[in-house]
Amino acid sequence: MEMDRESGKLEQIVSQFRSKILHVILNSRIPSLHHHYQQQEPLSLARVRKSDKWFNLVLGDRAAALENLNFSLRNLLDPMIIDIILVHHSSCSSSLDNLYTPSAAVGSPSDETVIERWVVQYDCARVNATPSGADTSSSYKKTYKKSIILLRSLFAQMRLLPAYRIFRQLSSLSQTYNVDLVYKVSSFSHPFSREEEGAMKEYSFVPVEAFPGRLCVSVTYRTTLSDFNLEPLVSLPSNIITDYVGSPTTDPMRSFPSEKGFHATSFSIRGARPPSPSPFQRPHSWSSGFHKGLPLMQNQSLAGSPPAYRTSPKPYDVVSPQSDIYGNRIRNRLPTLQQATAYDEYQLSPPFSASASPSPPAYLSGANPVVAHHCSETAPVTIPFPLTGRNSFHLSLNSSDPSRHSLPPLSPRSSKHDASSQESPSGIRSYRKLEALRAGESPSGLSINYSAQKMVRDTKDDSGRFSGLLSSSGSPRIGFSRSSSRLSFQDDMDDCEFSCPFDVDDIDVSDSPASQNVEGKKALDFTAQSVPVGKKSQDAAVGMLVHMLRTAPPLRQDPSCYSTHSSKTVGYEGGVGTASGFFMPCKTADALEELKSYREMRDLLLSKSGTRVVRKEEM
């Protein structure tokens, strides 16, 4: 009985010893596990866990992967072999291009080198030996004490081996490199080649007597790692490009998509895989800074903590630490995005930007009905004029953009109505509508706006370019262009924390041919801006858009809204009724002019960021 108790304690010591060693080694070699450890709150010694008390060495909580590994290697008689593998990514796979090409990244070659091999074994040569009473009386105590000493020396030695320097470099979150440290734990291992053995050295710790066997720990390590040059990867700045405009990065010559213009955006927001992989995945306006790995990492970033490295390494395993990094970024950003979507309505800016980047239409319209719901609360600003409403709705998403100089200027359309603004205070009415919606008095307006967005959706591409067209064609900016109401409207907007990227003062007051086509007083009531004339090649696309807008169902479904807010809806009704006429004048010229401005913005952004423009394929 006594012997059984002693042997039970000994077995427990051996088992815990293996777990502890595994914990020490991986914490000191695998950056992702080290991050997990660092993220834990520092524990005082008074609140250590039971696992930490083993061998009097507080290491913090074990990652789940370690627990699983420990469980799978519970046969104490089998050796526990821990390989620390340096994965060296080839140069092509580290380029930004291949990061946007999942297929290319999957197939990219990588060199793997075992730089350390730790062998922990309970050498039980005398299994059947019968210990004497004196041997067992305090043997487990001595074993435990010596195990503590061994662990201390192992802990210290891990910091002196060459691999520790690489581990520290890779653990730095400020930089990513072309190499990675992964591990493999198993009970067997492939022997090193002669060449590998020549570059390695072995150190064996003095075995600890653990009757009837002994605990043996040894390490074979590469004496020098200078052959593995750590090249920092070019990483996109993680700061938000505040003046990034989604649409300018889109090729203005591309055709409009049929239906999926918004879905791509929403998928990207949610971190889902892009629907159709393509060499060029256009980043979204709010993905600046980490979209480098987004197409590749999206699925992987949502995976769990670092996986155990298997015998056949997969890119998933290889990139898991990076995906953790990206995962952290994505996880950090998604809540922000959701916050932005469920925001206060006058702050509809894409997340991660100090000031909203103007790609709101795609973002709002298709991404989330809630988003649309909230966003639509701002739409009533331009309800009297359908295009205005939508544009203001979009513009509300493009809230304050400090780099207004990079934004497309107001269309002449907006300037045209400068004089008429005083006569038809639709902007003021629209603002009142905005207030009403803010107060939640006309929820039906939301649905109308949503339907308006739906109407627009089909004709919009994910780049937001089209939305940019719309947004520029109708906005409170029109109100700003009016001499008298401009300031007040702007003040009101400021009070509402509403700003849109197109609320710029650089209004082009010059007349444009498009503005000449406004029909009568409908044109006077039109608060939307007209899209400046662009290239002739855009005419067809714009015309298609206009046609769709003209044939779209009415924005407002609930006539009660009209009665409730009659003064506010007059303009809206007028806007609905004259939708077709409303859109007529602002189709080609304004749209093309805006496209031109988008191009300029794109060039500006490209020159600023210096990153490669990637485009998201149309959904």
List interacting residues with other proteins (CB under 8 A): 43, 45, 48, 52-53, 56-59, 141, 145-146, 148-150, 152-153, 155-157, 159-160, 164-165, 168, 205-206, 208
265: enclosing H helix or E strand = helix 263-270
Nearer to other proteins, 141 or 314 (CB): 141
What one-character DSSP code corresponds to residue 232? B
Integer Cα distance of 31 and 173 in angstroms: 9
The answer to whether the Cα torsion of 79, 80, 86, 87 is positive or negative is positive
Nearer to other proteins, 38 or 68 (CB): 38
Q: What phi and psi values does residue 180 have, to the nearest 5 degrees?
A: -150, 150
Nearer to other proteins, 29 or 260 (CB): 29
Nearer to other proteins, 14 or 158 (CB): 158
Integer Cα distance of 55 and 58 in angstroms: 9
* CB of 415 closer than 8 Å to CB of 516: no
Min CB(618)–other proteins separation in Å: 51
Min CB(145)–other proteins separation in Å: 6
The identity of residue 259, as a single letter, is E
Nearer to other proteins, 157 or 189 (CB): 157
Nearer to other proteins, 56 or 239 (CB): 56
Integer Cα distance of 549 and 361 in angstroms: 15
Q: What distance lies between CA 103 and its chain's CA centroid? A: 20
Q: Which residues fall within 8 angstroms of residue 107, CB to CB, at 6 or more apart?
A: none
| 3-state secondary structure labels for all residues of 147-204 | HHHHHHHHHHHHCCCCHHHHHHHHHCCCCCECEEEEEEEECCCCCCCHHHHHCEEEEE
Nearer to other proteins, 155 or 582 (CB): 155
Nearest CA-CA partner of 582 in 403, 453, 426: 426
| 3-state secondary structure labels for all residues of 434-451 | HHHHHCCCCHHHHHHHHH
* CA dihedral of 284, 288, 292, 295, whole degrees rounded to 10: -30
Nearer to other proteins, 228 or 352 (CB): 228
Min CB(32)–other proteins separation in Å: 18
Nearer to other proteins, 53 or 405 (CB): 53
291: enclosing H helix or E strand = none
| 3-state secondary structure labels for all residues of 124-153 | CCCCCCCCCHHHHHCHHHHHHHHHHHHHHH
410: enclosing H helix or E strand = none
Nearer to other proteins, 152 or 612 (CB): 152
Nearer to other proteins, 166 or 397 (CB): 166
Nearest CA-CA partner of 441 in 524, 581, 560, 616: 560
Whether a cis peptide bond, with omega within 30° of 0, leads into 252 is: no
Nearer to other proteins, 214 or 568 (CB): 214
Min CB(60)–other proteins separation in Å: 9
The identity of residue 478, as a single letter, is I
Min CB(115)–other proteins separation in Å: 17
* CB of 517 closer than 8 Å to CB of 579: no
Nearer to other proteins, 58 or 76 (CB): 58
| 3-state secondary structure labels for all residues of 334-346 | HHHHHHHHCCCHH
Nearer to other proteins, 92 or 149 (CB): 149
Min CB(151)–other proteins separation in Å: 10
Q: What phi and psi values does residue 477 have, to the nearest 5 degrees?
A: -60, -35
Nearest CA-CA partner of 614 in 278, 274, 260, 121: 278
Integer Cα distance of 406 and 413 in angstroms: 19
Q: Which tokens belong to 88?
A: 């060296």
Integer Cα distance of 323 and 320 in angstroms: 5
* CB of 401 closer than 8 Å to CB of 347: no
Min CB(56)–other proteins separation in Å: 4
Min CB(48)–other proteins separation in Å: 7
Min CB(202)–other proteins separation in Å: 14
Q: What distance lies between CA 167 and its chain's CA centroid? A: 26
Nearer to other proteins, 103 or 137 (CB): 137
Nearest CA-CA partner of 140 in 77, 74, 207, 211: 211
